[in-house]
Amino acid sequence: PDHVIFHRMYPVAVDRTIVECDWLYLKGVVDSGRDVSRSVELFDRVNRQDFDACERCQPAMSSRLYAKGGVLVPSEHHIGAFHDWVQDRLGTRANLTER
């Protein structure tokens, strides 16, 4: 691959996250002046579809079924750790475990 896509996600509320995404290209690609718009457009489209899917799931995440983080398979342990981190930062973990 000649590039990396780098996402940064900043949770700002229990129902809102700011996502920044950058495309990092090898110096040779940039120096060549090659048109990279097709790869940027492709992954922008994929990202928007993923974000839409996440937004449609978001309302259900306030239900009791998600009180302990929802349903994650063992290989998604890092997602559970991220959920814990977000809840700690937002001060919502105690509220979620009391339900």
Q: Is the pLDDT of residue 70 over 80?
A: no
Rounded Cα–Cα distance for residues 93 and 56 (Å) = 22
Q: Same domain for 73 and 50?
A: no
- Do 67 and 36 share a structural domain? no
pLDDT at 28 over 90: yes
Using CA atoms, how far apart are residues 10 and 63, in angstroms rounded to an integer? Answer: 23
Query: Does one domain contain both 6 and 49?
Result: yes
* Same domain flag for 67 and 56: no
pLDDT at 20 over 70: yes
Task: Work out how many domains the chain is built from and give that number.
Answer: 2
What pLDDT sits at residue 32? 95
pLDDT for res 97? 47
3 dihedral zone (left: phi>0; alpha: psi -120 to 50; beta) = beta
Asked if 9 and 31 sit in the same domain, the reply is yes
Q: How confident is the model at residue 98 (pLDDT cuts 50, 70, 90)?
A: very low
CB 15, CB 58: distance < 8 Å: yes
**Distance of alpha carbon 21 from alpha carbon 66, whole angstroms:** 28
Q: Given a cut of 70, is residue 99 above it in pLDDT? A: no
Please indicate, yes or no, whether residues 52 and 86 belong to a single structural domain of this protein.
no
Q: In the predicted model, what is the mean pLDDT of residues 78-98? A: 77
Do 20 and 46 fall within a single domain?
A: yes
- Residue range of the domain that includes 80: 63-99
pLDDT at 95: 53
DSSP states of 23-63: EEE-HHHHHHT---HHHHHHHHHHHHHHHHHHHHHGGGGGS
Query: Do both 70 and 54 map to the same domain?
Result: no
Please state the pTM of the whole predicted model: 0.52
